[in-house]
């Protein structure tokens, strides 16, 4: 059994600490937010993540997992300390390491034994060197510290499964003792280990996220072409993605990427590349395409409704992806902002993220508890997050409830014909059947337009 401390109880820190305790280790999770710690001690978690609460409760009950609001008490017996605090995007697009610096200082002044320090947060290249320097400068005792980079590859909504069954585990270290400790810690997972130096491990994380974001922006550009030439991007993905070199993962057209990772990590890599004298030409375009998807979606709705002022739009989905309540950089919320700016009123639903969205929008948006209520007496419905319950909507009921007849399938989860036979006008993303040309006129392939029998009021 290892004695572990994890500083930070956000998505990464709480999942990491809980899963390490599930593997049989003694884990102390630490956060300076006393309210979060009290929430966890009372048997609740501060965010939605499937399967996590059960693990927290089980390991609390077993005595392997506890929570501290003080770094000194939390790390007192730790052999290994994980840093898992937030690294938000600064105004200039670079990564804000303020929390990492603060934690490194707090750890340094409290250390009383030789310790392995693990950077679990997503951080720029050279952060391992920074943490080591801060600890050397501020430590009170003559202790030795080994800094390791161990980036996370967990997806919100499936974070527990991703931790317990990883594709790979990356360990960046300069000392063989630290490497062997990490090997032993992760041995129960029986996963491939990639051992590198610290800077390479830090670069691996940014490379992975930037590439996945690039795939999303790439297929959204292809979708824009499909709309103009009458092709269906879903079939394009099936055909091109069947090539093993390409694949279909992260290759779905829609509103673009969001969340706490892709936007800030791509921006950070743009900043890193510029700072080191190798400015990126590709990554700024990835971000630009992603932003354009929102304005394109708003324009489509505006054109279909003959203008947004006075219209009511029902938005299904507020979280940036299914199975989470995380609304950070959510394309859905950006879409809502665009609709409101255009003069529309918005009524919105999400299975778990309404509370977070209400804190952002206040009374500017009407929030409802049932997805069909979001369609009642509206001019258009937009499916912005592909929750499973939205995939099973009854279009007959939807048509009866709606004042208008426009359904924007912003995640391409429906068969356009199924909507047409129920008298609904279908707007997809790159389906080549929406009749949308981006300039307010029908596409040259009007014969394939799925419009239904109704017209917008």
Q: Which two tokens stand for residue 313?
A: 């739009």
Angle at CA 322, nearest 5°, toward 319 and 328? Answer: 30
φ, ψ of residue 172 to 5 degrees: the values are -110, 120
Q: Do the Cβ atoms of 28 and 68 come closer than 8 Å?
A: yes
Under DSSP, the state recorded for 321 is: S
Q: Which two tokens stand for residue 50?
A: 């499937």
Rounded-to-integer distance, Cα 18 and Cα 93, Å: 32
Q: How many C-beta atoms lie closer than 10 Å to residue 275's C-beta?
A: 12
Q: Do the Cβ atoms of 343 and 377 come closer than 8 Å?
A: no
Q: Where do we find the tokens 């609304």?
A: 327
Spot the catalytic one: 29, 261, 276, 371.
Answer: 261
Angle at CA 378, nearest 5°, toward 377 and 384? Answer: 140
3-state secondary structure (DSSP) of residue 95: strand
Under DSSP, the state recorded for 425 is: E
Rounded-to-integer distance, Cα 332 and Cα 315, Å: 8
Q: Please indicate whether residue 95 is annotated as part of the active site.
A: no
Q: Do the Cβ atoms of 314 and 347 come closer than 8 Å?
A: yes
Give the residue numbers annotated as catalytic, written as ranges: 261
């Amino acid at each position: 059994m290892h004695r572990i401390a994890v500083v930070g109880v956000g998505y990464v820190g709480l999942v990491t600490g809980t899963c390490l305790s599930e593997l049989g280790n003694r884990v102390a999770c630490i956060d300076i937010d006393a309210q979060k710690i009290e929430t966890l001690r009372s048997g609740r978690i501060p965010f939605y993540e499937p399967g996590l609460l059960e693990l927290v409760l089980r390991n609390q009950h077993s005595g392997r997992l506890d929570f501290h609001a003080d770094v000194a008490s939390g790390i007192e017996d730790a052999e290994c300390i994980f840093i898992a605090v937030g690294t938000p995007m600064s105004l200039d697009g670079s990564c804000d390491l303020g929390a990492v610096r603060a934690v490194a200082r707090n750890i340094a002044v409290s250390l009383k034994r030789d310790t392995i320090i693990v950077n679990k947060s997503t951080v720029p290249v050279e952060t391992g060197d920074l943490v080591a320097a801060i600890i050397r400068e501020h430590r009170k005792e003559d202790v030795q510290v080994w800094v390791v980079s161990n980036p996370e590859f967990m997806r919100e909504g499936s974070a527990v499964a991703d931790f317990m069954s990883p594709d790979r585990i990356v360990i960046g270290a300069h000392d063989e003792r630290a490497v062997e400790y990490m090997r032993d810690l992760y041995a129960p997972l029986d996963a491939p280990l990639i051992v590198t130096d610290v800077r390479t491990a830090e670069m691996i994380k940014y490379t992975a996220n930037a590439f996945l974001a690039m795939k999303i922006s790439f297929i959204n550009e292809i979708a824009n072409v499909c709309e103009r030439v009458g092709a269906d991007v879903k079939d394009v993905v099936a055909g091109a993605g069947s090539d093993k070199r390409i694949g279909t993962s992260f290759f779905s057209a829609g509103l673009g990427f969001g969340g706490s990772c892709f936007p800030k990590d791509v921006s950070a890599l743009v900043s890193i590349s510029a700072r080191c004298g190798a400015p990126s030409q590709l990554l700024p375009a990835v971000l630009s395409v992603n932003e354009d998807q929102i304005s394109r979606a708003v324009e489509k709705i505006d054109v279909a409704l003959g203008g947004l002022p006075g219209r009511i739009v029902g938005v299904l989905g507020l979280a940036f992806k299914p199975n989470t309540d995380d609304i950070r950089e959510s394309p859905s919320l950006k879409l809502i902002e665009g609709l409101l700016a255009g003069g529309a009123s918005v009524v919105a639903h999400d299975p778990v993220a309404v509370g977070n969205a209400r804190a952002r929008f206040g009374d500017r948006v009407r929030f409802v508890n049932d997805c069909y209520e979001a369609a009642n007496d509206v001019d258009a419905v937009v499916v912005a997050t592909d929750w499973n319950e939205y995939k099973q909507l009854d279009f007959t009921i939807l048509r009866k409830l709606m004042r208008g007849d426009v359904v924007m399938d912003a995640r391409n989860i429906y068969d356009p014909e199924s909507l047409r036979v129920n008298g609904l006008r279908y707007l997809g993303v790159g389906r080549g059947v929406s009749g949308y040309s981006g300039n307010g006129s029908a596409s040259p392939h009007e014969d394939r337009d799925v419009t239904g029998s109704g017209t917008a009021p």
